[in-house]
């Protein structure tokens, strides 16, 4: 049912009532302090093998807009960096703010970006299903990419042009052969730390890999995300989908490592 959201009555500060892990020891997102992040020479580069990736559909799940991928084999994986084996791409989605506001989940020295893209991968070497991996401490790897407003992003149009098809919660439409490689910045330098899902059920199962370099998207492209609705077609109260981000959570002694 609808037991959580981003509003006054069901927002992040109340999630602990139904999801006590919200006050856990490895919650996400966090505020990243580059000076405190230890440069770890043993941290190799991350490798993204997205060439044969197969997107299936794009959907509005009432919390974000999600592009799902075929994950029955290792055609699209992330590996290297802090990861001991390849993790399979399952979906990607975004978090964003209101007009002219900030909307990223991770922040860098208190600075937040307009939006944050999450590419969600699961450890299919150790676990049978995504659901099982989602509850395991080494089950998921999420690649976070900051979006800042600036020039038009030439490939983001493929996504923003499809958003009108999934305006309402529960809507889904075909979205074939989109390769998320086109959404990556030029540098794959990153910060990494052990954290959680940033939405309920807030499982502490995520190895976070946050890229240092943001990608630029135009204000016009960002405005198309804000025409999405949290609410379904049948609901009379139309609620614009924006500010769907959780604020930074306590570090609780965790170490953030830097690739370089």
Ligand X SMILES: C[C@H](CNC(=O)c1ccc(S(N)(=O)=O)cc1)Cn1ccc2ccccc21
CA distances from 174 to 92, 159, 178, 180, 187 (A): 15, 12, 11, 16, 31
Contact 224, 116 (CB under 8 A): no
Q: Which residues bind ligand X (CB under 6 A)?
A: 118, 120, 130-131, 134, 142, 197-199, 201
- The pair of three-digit structure tokens given for residue 229, joined into one six-digit string: 């609705």
Report the residue number whose CB is nearest to Zn ion: 118
Q: How far is the CB of 28 from Zn ion (least distance, A)?
A: 9
For tokens 């995520």, the residue is: 206
Catalytic residue numbers read: 63
- For residue 98, the partner it binds in ligand X, Zn ion, none, with Cβ less than 5 to 8 A by kind, is none
- 106: contact with Zn ion by CB under 5 A: no
Give residue 236's Cα distance to chain centre. Answer: 29
Report the residue number whose CB is nearest to ligand X: 131
Compare residues 29 and 86 and give the one whose CB is closer to ligand X. 29
Residues 6 to 65 in contact with Zn ion, rule: CB under 5 A: none
Q: How far is the CB of 72 from ligand X (least distance, A)?
A: 13
Site for Zn ion (CB under 5 A): which residue of 118, 121, 169, 203? 118
Compare residues 106 and 224 and give the one whose CB is closer to ligand X. 106
- For residue 166, the partner it binds in ligand X, Zn ion, none, with Cβ less than 5 to 8 A by kind, is none
Beta-strand pair 38-39/115-122: unpaired
Compare residues 133 and 188 and give the one whose CB is closer to ligand X. 133
Q: Pick the piece of the chain touching Zn ion (CB under 5 A) from 18-26, 114-122, 223-231, 245-253.
A: 114-122
Q: Identify the DSSP state of 159.
A: H
Contact 109, 89 (CB under 8 A): no
3-state secondary structure 172-221: EEECCCCCHHHHCCCCCCEEEEEECCCCCCCCCCEEEEEECCCEEECHHH
Compare residues 134 and 241 and give the one whose CB is closer to ligand X. 134
- For residue 217, the partner it binds in Zn ion, ligand X, none, with Cβ less than 5 to 8 A by kind, is none
Q: How far is the CB of 100 from ligand X (least distance, A)?
A: 23
- 153: contact with Zn ion by CB under 5 A: no
> Phi and psi dihedrals of 110, rounded to 5?
80, -10
- The pair of three-digit structure tokens given for residue 87, joined into one six-digit string: 């993790």
Q: How far is the CB of 130 from Zn ion (least distance, A)?
A: 15
Compare residues 131 and 150 and give the one whose CB is closer to ligand X. 131
CA distances from 204 to 13, 39, 133, 167 (A): 18, 24, 11, 31
The residues binding Zn ion (CB under 5 A) are 118
């Amino acid at each position: 049912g609808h037991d959580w959201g981003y509003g006054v009555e069901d927002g992040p500060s109340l999630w602990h009532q139904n999801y006590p892990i919200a006050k856990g020891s490895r919650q996400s997102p966090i505020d990243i302090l580059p000076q405190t992040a230890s440069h770890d020479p043993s941290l190799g580069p991350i490798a993204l093998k997205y060439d044969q990736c197969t997107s299936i559909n794009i959907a509005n799940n009432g919390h974000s807009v999600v592009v799902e991928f075929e994950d029955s084999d290792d055609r699209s994986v992330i590996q290297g960096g802090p990861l001991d084996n390849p993790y399979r791409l399952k979906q990607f989605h975004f978090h964003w703010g209101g007009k002219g506001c900030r909307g990223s989940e991770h922040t860098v020295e208190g600075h937040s970006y307009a939006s944050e893209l999450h590419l969600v991968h699961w450890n299919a070497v150790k676990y049978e299903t995504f659901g099982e991996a989602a509850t395991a401490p080494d089950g998921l790897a999420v690649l976070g990419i900051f979006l800042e407003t600036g020039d038009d992003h030439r490939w983001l149009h493929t996504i923003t042009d499809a958003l009108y098809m999934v305006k309402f919660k529960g809507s889904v439409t075909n979205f074939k052969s989109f390769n998320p490689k086109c959404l990556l910045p030029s540098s794959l330098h990153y910060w990494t730390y052990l954290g959680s899902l940033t939405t309920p059920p807030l499982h502490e199962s995520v190895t976070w890999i946050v890229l240092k370099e943001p990608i630029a998207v135009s204000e016009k492209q960002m405005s198309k995300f804000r025409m999405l609705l949290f609410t379904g077609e049948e609901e009379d109260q139309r609620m614009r989908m924006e500010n769907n981000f959780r604020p930074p959570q306590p570090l609780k002694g965790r170490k953030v490592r830097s690739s370089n």
